[in-house]
A and B are shown apart, each in its own frame.
Chain A
Amino acid sequence: MSEQGLVLKVEEYRIEEEPYYEALGSEIEIFEAAYANHLPVLLKGPTGCGKTRFMEHMAWRLQRPLITVSCHDDLTASDLVGRFLVKSGETRWMDGPLARAVRCGAICYLDEIVEARKDTMVVIHPLADDRRVLPMEKTGELLQASDGFCLSVSYNPGYQSVLKDLKQSTRQRFVALEFSYPSAELERKVVCSESGIDVSMAVNLVKFAHMTRNLKGGGLDEGASTRLLVHAAKLMSSGVAPVAACHSAISQALTDDADMLSAIDELASSLF
């Protein structure tokens, strides 16, 4: 078995330019402190409120490569740790993204951790406490995390169901940072600088987002996220009419229910 195997090129995961991020509160300082103390971080919050962008920003700030894994219900432990591959007639070990991050001190970000299969949790547990080790059953190795390594996971409490809840044994290992929609002023600033539309349009878009958030629980599972606003704003700055942009980028993304769609479109057409 070859030790080098097929190597994930970590340097490609380094972020060179500063990703745009507006702090909501003291999350940057807390993350830096957690990183310095080797504590894993849990990001909580609704979809599209800037969790992933925050991770990119922190990776740039700390000058560490960022390896992101989007979890899905078929993601197994070996997808994270690694597996044997067959090449030129022999088996070769290939590190998974998590093992790679542990080895070379990158930040490993497991997005939507609750979506992953239960057995993956077992793998991250020893990494997320003071041991900071990754046991690799198949190669018999016990990988000690290097100094720069940081584990961070995200989770959306909005979808809480019995099946998609984080176990106490998992959640009690993390420093938790809560994300919510930014204040109206901040959100307007984000929309403007991400898309380049003018302020008055951005103001209306933020108003529209608040209208959809008023409907949370009254027919919508979630209101429009900042990400959706940026999408709509980008369409608008490319010349799409505001109502059409809101319809395609926001209403359609929020619901499939015909009446609800019409109601949201009515709100948009009232506003623009």
Chain B
Amino acid sequence: MSNTDFNQRKAVQRQLDEWLEVEFTFRETDELIEPLFALPVKTRRFVLNWVERIASAHTEMAYQFALKSTHALTVLDEAGVESWLLFVLEQYDRSGLQPAMAVIHDVENFQQHRFERESGSLYEKKAAILTPFVRGLSGRALKLEVSRDDSAWTDSETLYLPALVARLSDKKDNFLLHKAMAAHLWAQTRFGTFQCDWLQALSVYPDPRQALALFHALETIRLDSCISRYLPGLYREMQRLRAALDDTAATAVFARQASVLQSASAQSRDSLQLLGKLYGDCKAPVCCYQGRMEPQIVQSVMRARQQREKALIRVKLAEMAEEHARQKGREPTDSEFDIQQKADDELNDHFEFELSIQEDALTVPPDLAQMLTSVMLDFSEIPNEYLTPAGPGEYDLSAYDETAVESEDVWKGAYHEEGASLHQEWDFARQCHRKQWCVMRELEVKPLYDDFYQQTMQKHARLIKSLHRTFEMLRGEDKLLKRQTYGDEVDIDALVEAYADTHYGLEMSDRLFTHKHKVERNIAVMFMVDMSGSTKGWINDAERESLFLLAESLQILGDRYAIYGFSGVTRKRCELFRIKSFDDAYDAETRARISGIEAKDYTRMGVAIRHLSGLLNQVEARIKLLITLSDGKPEDYDGYYRGEYGIEDTRMALYEARRDGVHPYCITIDKEGQDYLPHMYGAANYTVLEDVAMLPLKVSDIYRRLTT
């Protein structure tokens, strides 16, 4: 070994020692060196680069990868190794060290796994298509969720679909299979599989599980024939999939035995009847999209739903009866409603109802129609007891009120991610995003009705006057454009000149009109206010004062604006406080919410920027501004966000915002802002204020400069 070789090896080992923290972990890096140096230089660099990136997440994973790298490169190419490692990191973020290590150790199967993920239909990617697909089909508004095991089933309100469908070699076919599963489950709810008392009926058989399998197979035949009438295109595709997966042969014989179920009038009780005849004689064939049935769960969900819907419908009818009596000037009576389902023969794909009370027809509100549809699917009629308006105080609806759960209560619970939005975060060391890393929740600032607003108005009375003047000048006024070819009025000056021209034998200009041009300020601006602990005291006062002055100015301009505060502790608890949304008016309540801004916890900026620029992008405006009022660097309780990680994440979030057409700007009172703001926001997109007291005076001024 030459001297240079030796030095190189030493240098690499030193690096590895550092990344893998051998001082504390006592790992042996000697055994890594030889295999690494057997690799070509370029490949070695590739491996070392990844060891460093993974070490930033966990040293043990990095060490195991280093050990496995040579082998991995024989199984996969470099691109393959890269997606393998990204998958390792994703597993680590999502499920922890053990599952991630399992992926590292199982590199041989990753190829198969990768192939499946690439050619398969992934629920997380297809949910955005399948959900509206199912919603578009008639019937109950169903929810979609990923199934914990790999089979499809429904509880009659939610369709659970497998996370990955990869039984076929073609990506499109796999998606079709996913779609067929969803359609089959939808058909169970839509065409009355759960209408009969099947749990009871199945329990009389010696082997209820075998009976259930047979019942499921019979229902599949019945539902397939419903689908063939209702969705012929999909039915053709479903047949093709079955042929491709070779499960038609077994069913062909079975289908002949069950041909009665293919008639349009067949119902689930016919399947039960047939089950009695066929039980014991034949084995139930399994079809590729049928999934499984969960009778107990369906029954309990149905019971709860029926109670809930009965209560909600009867209370709704009571409201309608009262309203009707008031309109007619009569005393409310407890007379029953009459309901008719509009018959639409062959077009009968959705339920339309005609509701009447005392022979007066009433329009059915959409929420009631939705509930009635759901009842129709459970009973195939609306039972009479549903049509008696509820007596006063008969039901306590709060038990059914899904919105009654407060966001703040959810935070405290064990499932605190429920209803929160998940955002990614940039990890500069890994050079990739951590997916669904931050749990963000929008909360509301508690309004504080004190005299802070009046005090601010008095304190800055003179400034407000001058602000009003300056901003009024900015307001878009109609501009009169002269000498136009087309317009509202004749431009007399131009006409006189044109006359003179023709007199001298010159050609007459056609620019003889004035046109009123409306100058519109089409700006939407989002203020992101730092509510971290460090703003406590006079910084918080200055922030609130400047928001008041700014809001006063913006009212004059008519620009759309929203104000949100941000704070949080760790990635699991990021909080945005709504002070004013784009739709809120600047009224007493909004002012009280500005007064109510108080210092909270930490400054995890990246996630707040991602969420707010998302909100800003929903607004239609020519110019979109995201202005941050801050007092320091991004930081969080979990140490790693402090320093470079936080700065790089914020920078990436700002880059993403700019890519989506949002212009970010930062106003800070951190005197060291010069050190990191140019890197984060770009050279000209920030202002550092020396003195906190200047904040209220400057903010409006900066806004004026930015938007003109």
Contacts and interface: CB of A to CB of B under 8 A. Distances in A.
A263 interface: yes
A74 B517 CA distance: 9
B347 A271 contact: no
Tier of interface size on chain B: 20 to 34
B132 A264 contact: yes
Nearest to B366: A217
A90 B137 CA distance: 65
B232 A263 contact: no
A270 interface: yes
Interface string B168-194: 000000000001000100000000000
B497 to A, nearest CB: 12
A272 B233 CA distance: 5
Interface in B134-188: 135-138, 179, 183
A171 B344 CA distance: 36
A262 B352 CA distance: 28
A212 B349 CA distance: 13
Interface in A181-228: 183-185, 188, 203, 206-207, 210-212, 214-215, 218-219
A243 to B, nearest CB: 7
A83 interface: yes
Interface string A253-267: 000000110111011
A238 B99 CA distance: 57
A188 B347 CA distance: 9
A83 B514 CA distance: 11
Contacts of B183: 270
Contact of A271 (B130, B132, B232, B518): B232
A86 interface: yes
Contact of A267 (B137, B502, B508): B137
A262 B127 CA distance: 11
A83 B489 CA distance: 7
A269 B233 contact: yes
Contacts of A144: none
Contact of A210 (B130, B131, B132, B349): B349
Given A84-B489, A86-B512, A269 B136 contact: no
B128 interface: yes
A70 interface: no
A269 B128 contact: no
A76 B136 contact: no
A207 B347 contact: yes
A89 interface: yes
Contacts of B232: 271-272
Interface in A8-29: none
Interface in A44-67: none
A78 interface: yes
B132 A219 contact: yes
A74 B131 CA distance: 40
A210 to B, nearest CB: 5
B347 A184 contact: yes
B133 A263 contact: yes
Contacts of B138: 210-211, 214
B241 to A, nearest CB: 13
Nearest to B495: A86
B397 interface: no
Contact of A266 (B129, B344, B352, B508): B129
A270 B352 CA distance: 23
A266 B502 contact: no
Contact of B136 (A184, A203, A215): A215
Contacts of A215: 132, 135-136
A206 B137 CA distance: 13
Nearest to A161: B583
A146 interface: no
Q: Select the residue from B347, B488, B499, B508 with max chain A CB neighbours within 10 A.
A: B347
A217 to B, nearest CB: 9
A26 to B, nearest CB: 14
The B contact surface, by secondary structure, is helix
A269 B236 CA distance: 10
B293 interface: no
B234 A270 contact: yes
Contact of B490 (A91, A188, A243): A91
A260 B516 CA distance: 41
Contacts of B489: 78, 83-84
B346 A212 contact: no
Given A76-B516, A203-B346, A263 B502 contact: no
A259 B231 CA distance: 21
Contacts of A268: 233
A13 to B, nearest CB: 23
A178 to B, nearest CB: 11
Contacts of B350: 210, 214
A120 B488 CA distance: 13
Interface in B212-248: 231-234, 237
Interface string B329-356: 0000000000000101011011010000
Q: Select the residue from A117, A183, A259 with max chain B CB neighbours within 10 A.
A: A259
Contacts of B512: 86
A61 B217 CA distance: 60
A271 B231 contact: yes
A270 B234 CA distance: 4
B614 to A, nearest CB: 15
Given A210-B138, A210-B349, A266 B499 contact: no
Contact of A203 (B128, B237, B347, B488): B347
Nearest to B488: A78
B490 A267 contact: no
A267 B133 CA distance: 6
Contact of A262 (B129, B233, B342): B129
Contacts of A89: 499, 502, 508
A18 B587 CA distance: 54
B293 to A, nearest CB: 23
Interface in B489-527: 489-490, 495, 499, 502, 508, 512, 516, 518
Contacts of B133: 263, 266-267
B526 to A, nearest CB: 19
B233 A271 contact: yes
Interface in B105-145: 128-133, 135-138
A243 B132 contact: no
A139 to B, nearest CB: 13
B136 A211 contact: yes
A218 B502 contact: no
Contacts of B130: 263
A263 B129 contact: yes
Nearest to B139: A214
A185 B342 CA distance: 11
Interface string B556-592: 0000000000000000000000000000000000000
A32 B342 CA distance: 30
10 contacts: A84-B490, A86-B490, A89-B508, A91-B490, A188-B347, A210-B350, A260-B132, A264-B136, A270-B234, A270-B237
Nearest 7 CB-CB pairings of A with B: A270-B234, A263-B132, A259-B128, A184-B347, A211-B136, A270-B231, A78-B488
Given A215-B135, A263-B128, 13 more contacts: A91-B495, A188-B347, A210-B350, A211-B137, A214-B136, A214-B137, A214-B350, A260-B132, A263-B131, A264-B132, A269-B237, A272-B232, A272-B233
Interface of A: 74, 76, 78, 83-84, 86, 89, 91, 117, 183-185, 188, 203, 206-207, 210-212, 214-215, 218-219, 243, 259-260, 262-264, 266-272
